[in-house]
Amino acid sequence: AVSAWSDAQDTDADLSNISVQEALHAALVNAAARLVVDKVVQRASDIDVVMVKGLGFDSKLGGPLLQADLQGMLHLLRVMRDLETRDPALWRPGALIEDMVKNGRGFFGRSI
Protein backbone atom coordinates (compact mmCIF):
# COMPACT_ATOMS: atom_id res chain seq x y z
CA ALA A 1 0.00 0.00 0.00
CA VAL A 2 1.20 3.47 -0.82
CA SER A 3 1.32 5.90 2.05
CA ALA A 4 -1.02 8.87 1.84
CA TRP A 5 2.08 10.95 2.52
CA SER A 6 4.16 9.53 -0.35
CA ASP A 7 3.79 12.68 -2.44
CA ALA A 8 5.09 14.90 0.36
CA GLN A 9 8.05 16.97 -0.74
CA ASP A 10 10.79 18.85 1.08
CA THR A 11 10.11 17.54 4.55
CA ASP A 12 12.43 16.45 7.31
CA ALA A 13 9.75 14.39 9.02
CA ASP A 14 9.37 10.66 8.42
CA LEU A 15 5.64 10.46 7.88
CA SER A 16 5.42 6.74 7.22
CA ASN A 17 4.34 6.03 10.79
CA ILE A 18 1.61 8.70 10.90
CA SER A 19 -1.80 8.07 9.39
CA VAL A 20 -3.77 10.84 7.73
CA GLN A 21 -6.44 10.33 10.40
CA GLU A 22 -3.88 10.90 13.18
CA ALA A 23 -2.56 14.01 11.43
CA LEU A 24 -6.03 15.49 11.02
CA HIS A 25 -6.97 14.64 14.60
CA ALA A 26 -3.80 16.31 15.88
CA ALA A 27 -4.49 19.46 13.86
CA LEU A 28 -8.09 19.56 15.06
CA VAL A 29 -7.14 19.11 18.71
CA ASN A 30 -4.42 21.74 18.44
CA ALA A 31 -6.85 24.25 16.90
CA ALA A 32 -9.45 23.43 19.55
CA ALA A 33 -6.90 24.02 22.31
CA ARG A 34 -6.25 27.47 20.85
CA LEU A 35 -9.98 28.23 20.95
CA VAL A 36 -10.08 27.25 24.63
CA VAL A 37 -6.98 29.33 25.49
CA ASP A 38 -8.25 32.35 23.54
CA LYS A 39 -11.62 32.00 25.30
CA VAL A 40 -13.49 31.73 22.01
CA VAL A 41 -15.33 28.85 23.69
CA GLN A 42 -16.00 28.52 27.40
CA ARG A 43 -14.90 24.91 27.71
CA ALA A 44 -13.69 21.96 25.69
CA SER A 45 -17.02 20.18 25.95
CA ASP A 46 -18.59 22.99 23.85
CA ILE A 47 -16.37 21.97 20.95
CA ASP A 48 -17.16 18.29 21.34
CA VAL A 49 -20.90 18.98 21.44
CA VAL A 50 -20.68 20.96 18.19
CA MET A 51 -18.62 18.22 16.57
CA VAL A 52 -21.10 15.50 17.59
CA LYS A 53 -24.36 17.41 17.02
CA GLY A 54 -23.34 19.53 14.06
CA LEU A 55 -20.62 17.67 12.20
CA GLY A 56 -21.61 14.06 12.59
CA PHE A 57 -19.00 12.68 14.97
CA ASP A 58 -20.26 9.43 16.48
CA SER A 59 -21.99 10.28 19.76
CA LYS A 60 -21.07 6.86 21.17
CA LEU A 61 -17.37 7.68 20.78
CA GLY A 62 -17.57 11.30 21.85
CA GLY A 63 -15.99 14.29 20.21
CA PRO A 64 -12.40 14.74 19.13
CA LEU A 65 -11.27 16.23 22.45
CA LEU A 66 -12.70 13.37 24.50
CA GLN A 67 -11.04 10.98 22.06
CA ALA A 68 -7.75 12.83 22.54
CA ASP A 69 -8.03 12.31 26.29
CA LEU A 70 -8.89 8.63 25.87
CA GLN A 71 -6.06 7.98 23.42
CA GLY A 72 -3.57 9.97 25.45
CA MET A 73 -2.35 13.49 24.83
CA LEU A 74 1.28 12.35 24.63
CA HIS A 75 0.60 10.46 21.41
CA LEU A 76 -0.99 13.54 19.82
CA LEU A 77 1.88 15.73 20.99
CA ARG A 78 4.32 13.37 19.29
CA VAL A 79 2.31 13.50 16.06
CA MET A 80 2.27 17.31 16.22
CA ARG A 81 6.01 17.47 16.75
CA ASP A 82 6.63 15.09 13.86
CA LEU A 83 4.50 17.24 11.54
CA GLU A 84 5.48 20.65 12.84
CA THR A 85 8.15 21.26 10.20
CA ARG A 86 5.60 20.72 7.41
CA ASP A 87 3.30 23.50 8.62
CA PRO A 88 4.14 25.15 11.96
CA ALA A 89 0.93 27.21 12.00
CA LEU A 90 -1.12 24.04 11.86
CA TRP A 91 0.88 21.55 13.90
CA ARG A 92 3.15 23.45 16.30
CA PRO A 93 1.84 22.25 19.66
CA GLY A 94 0.17 24.99 21.64
CA ALA A 95 1.18 25.73 25.20
CA LEU A 96 -2.02 24.13 26.53
CA ILE A 97 -1.23 20.83 24.79
CA GLU A 98 2.31 20.80 26.14
CA ASP A 99 1.07 21.72 29.63
CA MET A 100 -1.52 18.94 29.59
CA VAL A 101 1.11 16.35 28.64
CA LYS A 102 3.58 17.68 31.20
CA ASN A 103 1.00 17.49 33.98
CA GLY A 104 -0.81 14.32 32.90
CA ARG A 105 -4.04 16.16 32.21
CA GLY A 106 -6.48 16.17 29.35
CA PHE A 107 -9.36 18.37 28.31
CA PHE A 108 -11.68 16.56 30.72
CA GLY A 109 -9.38 15.79 33.65
CA ARG A 110 -6.66 13.18 33.95
CA SER A 111 -5.35 11.80 30.69
CA ILE A 112 -4.14 8.25 30.21
- The whole-number pLDDT of residue 110 equals 74
Q: Is the pTM of this model over 0.75?
A: yes
Mean pLDDT in residue range 46-57: 93
Query: What pLDDT is recorded for position 109?
Result: 84
Give the tens place of pLDDT for each residue, 56-96: 889 999 999 999 999 999 999 999 999 999 999 999 999 99
Q: How do residues 6-49 score in pLDDT, each as one tens digit?
A: 445 545 456 678 999 999 999 999 999 999 999 999 999 999 99
Spell out the SS3 assignment of the chain: CCCCCCCCCCCCCCHHHCCHHHHHHHHHHHHHHHHHHCCCCCCHHHHHHHHHHHHCCCCCCCCHHHHHHHHCHHHHHHHHHHHCCCCHHHHCCCHHHHHHHHCCEECCEECC
